[in-house]
Structure 1
Amino acid sequence: MSASDPYELLISLGLAVAQIYRPNPCQEQACAELLATLDGSSLASDVVRPAIDDALRQAEDSMKRTAALMQKMRALRNRSVTINRLPSELLADIFWRISSPTVIARLISLTHVCTHWRAVALDDARLWATVWIECDPESDTLQTSCVPRMTEYLRRSRSHPLFVNIGHLPQSSMLACIETLQAHLHRIQTFWLQTETVDQMLHCLTRLRTAAVRLEDLRLEVDPFESDDSDSEASSVSPFQSHACDLFGGHTPLLRSLYLSEVSNLSIPTTLRNLRHFTLVRQTMPITHMDAFLDVLEIALVLRPCP
């Protein structure tokens, strides 16, 4: 069929569908009467089954063809909706503005609206570059799904710089997330890690040895309000006491913001010359370690007041 007026094409489509799929009461009645006449108990199975199976296959094939045609018609109808006529870049920007990293279902639901929305969302790596892994302490749902979800987000974000937040997870799930990140440390731009104890923080940090060449914002926080009394002794030992220089291989050339909580001793690498903001919270630094703190101030020559 040659291209012509779209309205004429729609009329032709409607007529073609009506001719193929219009109800045929006579044929339907004839099939119903034949089925009612046949008595399965009086016929041998080797006679009934092949005939009925063949009829079922024909009916199923017809249903599949109908379903495929209906899917194409729904897609055409969806593409005609005003919002779907926007450029894909603009629609993706709308998705970006309404999505929230802390509300997982919001972004996922966008991919389930229609084929066009799913294609646009999956094509925009920026939408998947914020990996926010937290769970409600009273629910273990996310604890079991955090690694598969992180893996899928990392795949969909392709080579886009990452914003990664990990917190409120049991140690096994947290370490599994850290291991999943290993191949992507080079593209992390913001990394926030919150643990319940310093010991848990130490286990995570000792696994972060690959250079983070894009890292600009690093936040490492031990939440004392989540710690058990049994961990009080472990929390007096700083994770930076002997491992700080190994963190990201000591190579974070773009680091601009560093936030540390529950720190009692510092061993800061000498690659922080671009550091703008340096925050210590709930630290218990003894006077004998003040030299290390002053060394940071000497290295970071462009520190600025925090906003």
Structure 2
Amino acid sequence: MKVTSKRPCSPTFSPASNPDSIISEPPFMSPELHGQLQEVDGQTVRSLLTGRNALAPISLLPPEILARVFHFFALEEQNLGWIRATHVCWFWRQVALDDSSLWATISGNSTNTKLISEMLARASDAPLDINIDFGGASGQEVLLMFPPHLSHTRKLRLYGLSMLHSDIVRDIYSREAPTLEHFELGVSDTSLIIFRDLGGTTLFKGQAPRLRTLFLSQVLIPWSLIPRGQLTQLTIGLFREVSIYDVPSHRNLYQLIDLLVHCPELEMLVLGCCLPPQLAQIPYGQTIHLPRLSRLCLAGSSSRITNLMKMLKLPSSAMLHFHCLSENVHNDRLLLPVVSAQLQGPAPIEFKSLGVTVNCMDRSLEVTASTSIPTSGVRQSEDFESDMDDDDDEFVLSFDGLPELGNWTDLLERVCKILPISNLEFLSIFAPDIVDSVYWVEVFRSCAEVTTMQAVGRGTSSLVRALTTPKLTNMRLDGKGKQKRRDDKDSSTAAQPARSTAAHEDAPIFPKLAFLSLKRLEFAENEHNSGILFDVVERGLRQRRVAYKAPLRVLHIDNCAISAKRAKALQKLVEKFHWDGKEGFLDVFEDAGDPDSDSDETGVVGRIFRRYHVR
């Protein structure tokens, strides 16, 4: 293997280009003697340089220390770039070749057959860390190299496999793995490998005592084969939900329950679309205690998730991520009381950040919540470009395939009602479609601590309008309980909440709002009884500054349909103003999707795998 470098890593000098300049040529010599002297002179020069190399400080390091330096170099370099250090000098190369652990980390793709073979040979019996992506290619020659080395493999990650590799995978499963700690197996999303029988009672013949992390993607095996009692992380996912035809045995449910009961050390549990079909029926009544669990992610039919959650007993601090495939509104709602009971456990939490994504066209809804504000520090940096980091969200609840005709709006209101968001400070709403049926004032009535909000998409227009107190022309109750018409010019009435139900609805939401970001909105929109969106926003900003003495500090407007004249008018009502300068109609095709959504075929389950992948 030949590795070149733009810059020599050697601490020594290169040989002189003209050895004759070092040793003078004697006069009056024959051509034969001249050639012999030149050869001797070259050897002398090389001998002198070799001696000088041996005196360099770095050459005085013991081989163990130099090998340790190579390990640090290997950690910093990518794609085996550290190997160029073995081409500096004979001593360095010998130290690297003698340290088998330097060659034990093998990564890349299945096309590097010679490289992988050579590294396995140089690694000898050192604990292996293998990470190979087959990318849907055959690569059987490479895959066949690994089973014989499983006895001294510490981490094994194989991705992009297909049905062509099933026999070799079966061979891996049937071998002992006494040093294996981490095992990941991923099949391409166009394939599904189902093992109904692997010729034993447990994976790796029951000889994998150190196995702590098991990750299977698009691989279906009986739950009974998974090792008990030792796992700390278990991730199993499919890109479609299994049916009774995929798993004909009714024991499948009881095998899963038995597995979870006997894995009390689990810290992370991810089950994506692999829950047994029997969970949709009357659940098994056993309680499953997982006292160490810190992350739980379940994906599948809402009824299966609900019935499994009824059996689980988790720490109140556990992060909950649910991705539901909607069956009907009734089944979807049944999950909410179970979630509420978990959130209101012995140590109830209070969310400070909330994100809502509503997509009527895709019939999907996602709600994310966190106990901290975004890591980007929106309030400090005034940077609205960064949204919440999904990895840090303590709670995620999403529904795909919701029924049409507004049933999802009622579901959204119910979800927000069960969440502890009275101390909410950051709110992010994304809705690309027109959404007028959500009663935002009622949904966020208790969120008086919100200081930062970002609204993305035309569907958030109704929420932006809700930030403004409606015109005061309706009826209110006087002190004697009689109706009295309010005058638009009665500023004192506008500044005080009335005592009737209708007047209570006039109170503005988010009284402490200081930072507002608006994206992909059309300020000329006039599809609402409150009037043109620009007029409503302008009136709201003036109300907050004059009537309520709580002016908006920062306003961001990006990719919105708004004229320069109107943008300038809004600028006068806030302390700091940012506008990207775009005018005219909003390009509805520009960045029309959720910036955090996935466009691949794997959909929501694909997001689960990427979120919990440990590469």
Verify same fold: TM over 0.5.
Answer: yes
Q: Which has the higher helix share?
A: 1
Letter in 2 for 1:132: S
In structure 1, the residue matched to 2:168 is: 204
Identify, as 1 or 2, the structure richer in strand. 2
* Aligned residues of 1:165 and 1:192 also touching (Cα < 8 A): yes
Deviation, 1:279, is 1.1
Q: Report whether the alignment pairs 1:83 with 2:39.
A: no
What is the letter of the counterpart of residue 215 of structure 1? Answer: L
Question: Paired residue for 1:132, among 107, 112, 115?
Answer: 107
Is the aligned partner of 1:291 residue 2:293? no
Is the aligned partner of 1:278 residue 2:242?
no
SS of structure 1 residue aligned to 2:155: strand
In terms of mean alpha carbon deviation, does 273-282 or 242-251 score higher?
A: 242-251
Residue aligning to 2:353: none
| Bigger relative contact order, structure 1 or 2 (CA pairs below 8 A, ≥6 apart) | 1
Return 5+ residue gaps in structure 1 as ranges.
Answer: 1-16, 32-54, 136-142, 225-231
Give me the whole-angstrom Cα distance separating, in 1, the residues matched to 2:137 and 2:262.
34
Shift of 1:156: 1.9
Residue matched to 2:127: 161
In the alignment, structure 1 residue 122 sits paired with structure 2 residue 90: no
The letter for the 2-side match of 1:295 is D
TM-score norm. by structure 2 comes to 0.35
**C-alpha displacement at 1:110, in angstroms?**
1.1
Separation (CA, whole Å) in 2 of partners of 1:185 and 1:60: 57
Which amino acid in 1 is paired with 2:74?
A: S
Q: Among the aligned pairs, what percent are the same residue?
A: 26
Q: What amino acid sits opposite 2:148 in the alignment?
A: A
Q: Which structure has the greater CA radius of gyration?
A: 2
Gaps of 5+ in 2: 1-18, 245-249, 269-293, 296-615
- Name the SS for the 1:97 alignment partner: helix
What's the CA shift for 1:92? 1.4
In 2 relative to 1, CA 88–280 (structure 1 residues): closer, same or farther, beyond 3 Å? same
Does residue 1:190 correspond to 2:155, yes or no?
Answer: yes
Find the residue that maps to 2:113 and give its secondary structure.
helix
Question: 1:44-55 counterparts in 2 under 5 A?
Answer: none
Return the alpha-carbon distance in structure 2 between the equivalents of residues 112 and 190 of structure 1: 29
Q: Distance in 2 between matches of 1:127 and 1:88?
A: 13
- Contact 2:203–2:227 at 8 Å: present in 1 too? no
Preserved CA contact (<8 Å) 1:218 1:259: yes
Indicate yes or no: 2:263 matched with 1:300.
yes
One-letter amino acid matched to 2:119: Y
After TM superposition, give the deviation of residue 210 of structure 1 in Å: 2.3
1:83 positional shift = 2.5
Q: Following TM superposition, by how much is the alpha carbon of 1:105 offset from its aligned partner in structure 2, in angstroms?
A: 4.1
Q: How many residues align?
A: 243
Question: Is 1:206–1:247's contact at 8 Å kept on the other side of the alignment?
Answer: no
Q: Is this contact kept in 2: 1:162–1:189, CA < 8 A? A: yes
Residue 22 of structure 1 aligns with which residue? 24
* One-letter identity of the residue aligned with 2:196: Q
One-letter amino acid of the structure 2 residue matched with residue 96 of structure 1: H
Distance (Å, rounded) in 1 between the aligned partners of 2:97 and 2:126:
13
**Structure 1 residues 119 and 302, CA, compared in 2 at 3 Å: closer, same or farther?**
same
Structure 2 vs 1, CA of residues 236 and 169 (structure 1 numbering), >3 Å: closer, same or farther?
closer
Q: CA deviation at 1:261?
A: 1.2
CA distance in 1, matches of 2:37, 2:229: 68
Is residue 136–residue 188 contact of structure 2 (8 Å, CA) maintained in 1?
no
C-alpha distance in structure 1 between counterparts of 2:223 and 2:76, whole Å: 33
| Cα displacement string for residues 264-306 of structure 1 (whole angstroms, at most 9, x for unaligned residues) | 4534426443211111234534475333332321332321236
1:149 aligns with 2:115: yes
- Evaluate the alpha carbon distance shift between residue 79 and residue 212 of structure 1 in structure 2; reply closer, same or farther with a 3 A threshold: same
Report the Cα distance in structure 1 between the residues aligned to 2:50 and 2:41, rounded to whole angstroms.
14
Deviates more, 1:258-267 or 1:101-110: 101-110
- Distance, in Å, in 2 between the alignment partners of 1:21 and 1:62 is 9
Q: What is the CA–CA distance in structure 1 between the aligned matches of 2:178 and 2:96, rounded to whole Å?
A: 28
Give the corresponding residue for 2:298: none
Q: CA deviation at 1:204?
A: 3.2
Cα offset, 1:125, TM superposition: 1.7
The amino acid across from 1:304 in the alignment is: E
In structure 1, C-alpha distance between the alignment counterparts of 2:44 and 2:135, rounded to whole Å = 47
Counterpart of 2:489 in structure 1 is none
Distance 1:190 1:120 in 2: 25
The Cα of 1:159 is off from its aligned counterpart by 2.0
Q: For 1:295 and 1:101, how far apart are their aligned partners in 2?
A: 44
Matches of 1:220 and 1:190, distance apart in 2: 11
Post-superposition offset of 1:150: 2.1
Structure-2 change in CA distance of 1:210 and 1:292 (3 Å): same
Distance 2:234 2:146 in 1: 25
> What SS does structure 2 have at the residue aligned with 1:280?
strand
The aligned counterpart of 2:72 is 97
Deviations 1:57-113 (A, max 9, x none): x958973x6555544433322233332222322221121112149834413211101
Please give the secondary structure, in 1, of the residue aligned with 2:158. strand
**1:213 Cα deviation after fit:** 1.0
Q: Distance in 2 between matches of 1:98 and 1:21?
A: 40
Does the CA-based 8 Å contact 1:244-1:269 persist in structure 2?
A: no
Contact 1:129 1:157 in 2 (8 A): yes
Question: 1:61/1:26 Cα in 2 relative to 1: closer, same or farther (>3 Å)?
Answer: closer
Question: Pick from 238, 251, 259: which aligns with 2:215?
Answer: 259
> Counterpart of 1:139?
none
2:159–2:186: 8 Å Cα contact kept in structure 1?
yes
Partner amino acid, structure 2, of 1:279: T
CA change 1:60–1:221 in 2 (3 A) is farther
Q: How much has 1:184 moved relative to structure 2?
A: 1.6
State the 1:194 CA deviation.
0.4
CA distance in 1 between counterparts of 2:220 and 2:61 reads: 55
One of 69, 87, 90 as aligned partner of 1:112: 87
**Cα distance in 2 between the residues matched to 1:75 and 1:273:** 58
Q: Give the secondary structure class of the aligned counterpart of 1:211.
A: coil
1:220 aligned onto 2:175: no
Structure 1 equivalent of residue 438 of structure 2: none
Give the deviation of 1:257 after TM superposition: 0.6
170 and 115 in structure 1: CA distance in 2 versus 1, 3 angstrom threshold: farther
CA distance in 2, matches of 1:91, 1:83: 8
